[in-house]
Amino acid sequence: MIPVASNARIWIATGHTDMRKGMQGLSLLVQESLGRDPFAGDVFVFRGRGGSLIKALWHDGVGLSLYAKRLDRGRFVWPATVSGVVGLTAAQMSYLLEAIDWRNPQHTWRPQSAG
């Protein structure tokens, strides 16, 4: 889990994002396309076109951090809207990172074997 402060807001960037972007590209996207401050301490989460990779951008007051998570199987549950942001709670973010539908929490897939 991303070690964010309890008062940090979590935002999902709806639609799909070019996952080749790094910290600078995503923070510029937050600033220009989403109209938010990437250095305010909020967490911004982006998903690629395939749906199996997400990146989270967070500024902790000292520096910018970029977290990535890729699923071997399945897809991350994402809002259907094309542009804008959707706010999440910390609990919903935990569900999202575990590939559980954060709108209706249920396991979508569980591995059967380790190999």
Answer yes or no: is 4 within a domain.
no
Answer yes or no: is 105 within a domain.
no
Task: Give pLDDT tens digits for 81-114.
Answer: 767 788 888 888 888 888 777 776 655 567 777 7
Tell me which residue range forms the domain holding 56: 10-97
Q: Can you name the residues that pair with 67 across neighbouring β-strands?
A: 56
Which spans in the chain are helix H?
23-32, 90-97
Answer yes or no: is 82 within a domain.
yes
Answer yes or no: is 76 within a domain.
yes
How far is Cα of residue 24 from the mean position of the Cα atoms in its chain?
Answer: 16
Answer yes or no: is 28 within a domain.
yes
Query: Which of 5, 15, 11, 7 minimizes the C-alpha distance to 93?
Result: 11
Mark the ranges of the chain whose per-residue pLDDT is less than 70: 1-6, 82, 104-109, 115
The number of folded domains in the chain is: 1
Residues 102 and 5: their CA atoms lie apart, in Å, by 20
**What is the pLDDT, as a whole number, of residue 93?**
84
Answer yes or no: is 103 within a domain.
no
Answer yes or no: is 68 within a domain.
yes
**What is the pLDDT, as a whole number, of residue 61?**
85
Answer yes or no: is 75 within a domain.
yes
